[in-house]
């Protein structure tokens, strides 16, 4: 199971599950379509996934794509199953279902290699752990013989406290203010303020519509109503170029589909938002472009064979650094980070967190969307919680706990409503 979904978007779920091994009718020697859809429903049911096998894959969420990938692997009754970051876009309930299936497969004799950067998952599921760092073998331990801190030290050569290097930054004026932002059927009445030098965490389960709010602010899918202020001035953001002109940048959740152009090199990916700066009488100044790309990628410690290397050839962590470089090169004042450390190694996570702290200390205002509670708790100055398209609660850094955040994120719409949440500014 690949880290990033490798499905055919214009085929339906059943066709993707059985691609390469379709059931064949014994007489006609053609695809047995009825049998295919009946058999495709079995791994979906086993995963507790309420999806019609006839559904076209193109319209699925990232979490649903990942679950279809898992169903695809289950359909071949594999004796060895390699799962590469299979939970990076799943909700807690979906992770629990996946672990239940993994244990069933293990008990039935399937050998599972589970690649993950989420240590709580490793401790919950694994029997043994092998640690690699920078392509080198570090060690192997039985899970009952290693502690959380020891495992982190093996992975990054640093202690737990180093993973969330939050700096105390004096916050300045309100840079971004959102009031009553609403998109019919998606999210409703979103209001908050973001200050200079602040990291504002936006928590919630997958499907809480946090990404939709971010895309509305950035102009990807504008809201139907509501107002946005930048530096105290009401603004109209109908497209991403409007947001960029106002000093707002957005690092999307899915770096491969929305953050990068995979078949082109690092330089062209990084400089894409400011390409006009290198235009000279209709020609591109390649030397100036490469120099600018070199400066920002060196600052972010992008590890590659060279700036000519294609984005598709980079590791997940270095791809994420290139996406960050692409938007930091625009010199934003407001930076929206949507799942900034999804699917990257622990060492790179620490580097991204350190970068966030540095940017906040330089006066950047950061809105961070994350499904990882340790990241939300470790890096946020304030935390907003979304549930079913609404802001339902907020906490200061000192008030917040995992239990409080999860209680708000999982409450039913009957008990969690904007009327019961404190004002978000």
Sequential DSSP letters for 191-257:
EEEEETT-EEEEE--TTSSHHHHHHHHHTSS--SEEEEEETTEEE---SHHHHHHTTEEEE-S-III
Q: DSSP assignment of 146-194, as one string?
A: --HHHHHHHHHSS-GGGGS--------SEEEEEEEEEETTTEEEEEEEE
Separation between Cα atoms, residue 177 and residue 181, nearest integer Å: 10
Q: Which position has the token pair 């006609």?
A: 28
Separation between Cα atoms, residue 246 and residue 287, nearest integer Å: 28
> Is residue 422 classed exposed, middle or buried when 0-12, 13-18 and 19+ CB atoms within 10 A define those classes?
exposed
* pLDDT value for 105: 83
Cβ atoms of residues 246 and 176 within 8 Å: no
Q: Which position has the token pair 């169903």?
A: 71
Asked if the model's pLDDT at residue 416 lies above 60, the reply is no
Helices 62-74 and 33-46, axial angle in degrees (round to 10) = 110
Asked if the model's pLDDT at residue 125 lies above 70, the reply is yes
Average pLDDT over residues 217-229: 95
Asked if the model's pLDDT at residue 230 lies above 80, the reply is yes
* pLDDT value for 418: 40
Task: pLDDT band for 159, please (50, 70, 90 cuts).
Answer: low
Separation between Cα atoms, residue 52 and residue 55, nearest integer Å: 5
- Displacement of CA 257 from its chain's centroid (Å): 12
Asked if the model's pLDDT at residue 140 lies above 90, the reply is yes
Closest among 171, 182, 173 to 228, alpha carbons compared: 182
Average pLDDT over residues 228-251: 95
* pLDDT value for 424: 44
Average pLDDT over residues 71-87: 84
- Does an H or E element contain 334, and which? strand 334-338
Average pLDDT over residues 404-417: 66
pLDDT digits (tens, 9 = 90+) for 20-67: 888 888 888 888 899 999 989 988 887 777 889 999 998 887 778 878
* pLDDT value for 373: 85
Cβ atoms of residues 122 and 130 within 8 Å: no
- Displacement of CA 196 from its chain's centroid (Å): 24
Separation between Cα atoms, residue 90 and residue 65, nearest integer Å: 10
Strands 111-115 and 80-84 come out as parallel
* Contact partners, residue 213, CB within 8 Å, separation at least 6: 181, 187, 190, 202, 386
* pLDDT value for 415: 41
Separation between Cα atoms, residue 89 and residue 370, nearest integer Å: 10
* pLDDT value for 294: 94
Separation between Cα atoms, residue 424 and residue 267, nearest integer Å: 40
CB atoms within 10 A of CB 277: 12
pLDDT digits (tens, 9 = 90+) for 2-19: 877 789 999 999 999 999
Cβ atoms of residues 305 and 318 within 8 Å: no
Q: Look up the pTM and report it.
A: 0.70
Q: Name the β-bridge partners of 78.
A: none
Tokens of 410: 């999982």
Closest among 257, 247, 265 to 327, alpha carbons compared: 247
* pLDDT value for 422: 41
Strands 283-284 and 279-280 come out as antiparallel
Closest among 346, 320, 319, 313 to 129, alpha carbons compared: 346
Closest among 133, 165, 62 to 375, alpha carbons compared: 165
Closest among 360, 303, 301 to 332, alpha carbons compared: 360
């Amino acid at each position: 199971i690949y880290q990033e979904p490798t499905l055919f978007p214009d085929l339906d779920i059943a066709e993707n599950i059985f691609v390469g091994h379709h059931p064949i009718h014994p007489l006609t020697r053609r695809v047995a379509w009825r049998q295919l859809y009946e058999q495709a429903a079995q791994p979906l049911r086993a995963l507790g996934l309420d999806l019609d096998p006839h559904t076209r894959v193109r319209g699925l969420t990232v979490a649903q794509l990942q679950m279809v990938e898992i169903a695809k692997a289950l359909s071949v009754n594999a004796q060895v199953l390699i799962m590469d970051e299979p939970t990076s876009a799943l909700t807690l309930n979906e992770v629990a279902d996946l672990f239940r299936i993994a244990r069933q497969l293990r008990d039935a004799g399937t050998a599972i290699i589970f690649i993950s950067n989420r240590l709580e998952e490793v401790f919950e599921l694994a029997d043994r752990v092998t640690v690699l760092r920078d392509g080198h073998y570090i060690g192997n331990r039985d899970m009952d013989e290693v502690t959380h801190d020891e495992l982190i030290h093996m992975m990054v050569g640093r202690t737990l406290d180093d993973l969330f290097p939050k700096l105390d930054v004096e916050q300045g004026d309100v840079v971004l203010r959102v009031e009553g932002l609403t998109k019919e059927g998606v999210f409703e009445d979103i209001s908050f303020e973001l200050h200079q030098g602040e990291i504002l965490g936006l928590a919630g389960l997958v499907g809480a519509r946090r990404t939709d709010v971010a895309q509305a602010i950035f102009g990807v899918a504008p809201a139907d109503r509501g107002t946005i202020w930048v530096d105290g001035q009401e603004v109209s953001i109908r497209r991403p170029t409007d947001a960029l002109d106002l000093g707002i940048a957005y690092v999307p959740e899915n770096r491969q589909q929305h953050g990068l152009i995979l078949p082109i090199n690092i330089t062209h990916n990084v400089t894409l938002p400011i390409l006009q700066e290198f235009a000279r009488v209709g020609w591109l100044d390649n030397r100036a472009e490469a120099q600018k790309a070199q400066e920002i990628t060196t600052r972010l410690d992008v590890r590659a064979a060279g700036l000519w290397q294609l984005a598709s050839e980079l590791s997940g962590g270095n791809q994420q650094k290139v996406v960050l470089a692409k938007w930091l090169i625009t010199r934003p004042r407001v930076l929206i980070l949507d799942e900034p450390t999804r699917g990257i190694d622990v060492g790179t996570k620490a580097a991204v967190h350190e970068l966030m702290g540095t940017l906040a200390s330089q006066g950047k205002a950061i809105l961070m969307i994350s499904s990882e509670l340790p990241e939300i708790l470790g890096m946020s100055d304030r935390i907003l919680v979304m549930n079913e398209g609404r802001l339902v609660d907020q906490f200061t850094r000192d008030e917040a706990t995992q239990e409080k955040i999860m209680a708000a994120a999982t409450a039913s719409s009957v008990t969690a409503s904007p009327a019961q949440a404190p004002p978000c500014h």
